[in-house]
Amino acid sequence: MENVIFRREQDTSAEPNTGTLKKINDRRRKDDTPFISLFSDREKSKLIKKIFNRDASQFMAFMSELNTKLTWHEAYVIIDQELKKRKIDLFSEEARNFTDRIYKVFFPEEI
């Protein structure tokens, strides 16, 4: 079987400070709407149950901290750290849905 190697366009070894990754990581929020408003009450309940161990105060504290992040990279890092801290599979349905919803704020034209 042949190995396939993908080359990133315009990226250099100094990533993420240059090239395509910089454009993605530095992407700023399109609006200042609080992230919590992106979720319905039912979705919030599901996230609290599945990710935050039924602790609504931890969920609210996390969402407040997430609101302070202005770039996609900052938001992604905090989400990634929280999921790993809670030993949540990054590819679980809840984790993907949560991350995708936040991603839409930074990249509304892609979804």
Locate 72 and state its tokens: 């996609």
Locate 37 and state its tokens: 């408003």
14 part of a folded domain? no
What pTM does this model have? 0.74
Locate 108 and state its tokens: 């509304």
Q: Which residues contact residue 56 at a Cβ distance below 8 angstroms, ignoring those fewer than 6 apart? A: 48
Measured CA to CA, the distance from residue 15 to residue 39 in angstroms comes to 33
- Mean of pLDDT over the chain: 83
56 part of a folded domain? yes
Q: How many domains does the chain have?
A: 1
What pLDDT was estimated at residue 20? Answer: 66
65 part of a folded domain? yes
With cut-offs at 50, 70 and 90, classify the pLDDT of residue 101. Answer: very high
15 part of a folded domain? no
What domain range is 79 assigned to? 27-106
Residue with the bigger pLDDT between 88 and 26: it is 88
Instruction: List pLDDT tens digits, range 44-85.
Output: 999 999 999 999 999 999 999 999 999 999 999 999 999 999
What region does 4 belong to: left with phi over 0, alpha with psi -120 to 50, or beta? beta
Query: Does pLDDT of 42 surpass 70?
Result: yes
What pLDDT was estimated at residue 11? Answer: 44
Closest C-alpha to 11, from 22, 1, 2: 22
96 part of a folded domain? yes
7 part of a folded domain? no
32 part of a folded domain? yes
Query: Does pLDDT of 10 surpass 60?
Result: no
